[in-house]
Amino acid sequence: MQLYKDDTQAATALHAGEMRALEYFYNSYKPLLFGFLLPYCKECALADELIQDTFLRFWDSRKKIDPDRNVKNLLFTIAKNLALDQLKRIRLEQHHAEEAGLEILRDNSTMEGVIYSDYQRCLVEVINKMPERHRQVFSLSRNHHLSNAEISTELSISVKTVEKHMTGTLKAIRSFLKQHDILIFLMALLGITLQF
């Protein structure tokens, strides 16, 4: 049997400290609050937790509730504020985790630097053993980010010739990478990107 005919009557009882009034609001608005909070939370468990916190805060502020005002709006305002606070906490935790990750990277920077320098030195040796035109084409492509057509214009050669030089250079580099697969694995593990 329903004890309260509407929110105003239940809010008056809640203001007076009646727990059944809190139960009335809980039963009336829990499903609506869940639907409201889920897009913020993305997780059912977190939405349920925020609903519990919402009703705790609602109960704690019962003496300030004006029964003549829209109590439903108050519930949703409390829920929204709790959800936003939760999102801020999550972002802050992620920020701290990222900073901690950066600290780990800084700790490994010497080892990464040695591996990267060794890799770059070997790669430069491979590229230096190539014909001059291969090196020019490769440099314009990778270092200056020119397209094949732009390289063709720059060096006064056909696009087909540019493609031939690139194919030869990339074939030699691929061969080098296969011979140094353990080094490449270490670089991938440490998150080092290759730059030519």
CATH number for the region 109-190 comes to: 1.10.10.10
The long-range contacts involving 169-178, CB below 8 angstroms and separated by at least 24 positions, are 169/127, 169/130, 169/134, 169/135, 169/137, 169/138, 172/126, 172/127, 172/129, 172/130, 172/134, 173/123, 173/126, 173/127, 176/122, 176/123, 176/126
pLDDT, tens only, 20-39:
999 999 999 999 999 888 88
| Domain spans in the chain, listed from the N-terminal domain onward | 7-104, 109-190
Helices (H), 16-158: 19-41, 44-60, 71-107, 109-128, 132-142, 148-155
* 7-104 and 109-190: identical CATH topology: no
pTM (2 decimals)?
0.48
Q: Are 140 and 166 in contact (CB under 8 A)?
A: no
CB atoms within 10 A of CB 83: 21
CATH number for the region 7-104 comes to: 1.10.1740.10
| Cβ-proximal residues to 182 (8 Å cutoff; 6+ apart), any chain | none
Q: Are 78 and 50 in contact (CB under 8 A)?
A: no
Q: C-alpha distances in angstroms, 160 versus 42, 138, 163, 165, 171? A: 53, 14, 5, 9, 16
* pLDDT of 183 higher than 60: no
pLDDT, tens only, 81-133:
898 888 888 777 766 566 555 444 444 444 455 555 656 667 777 778 888 88
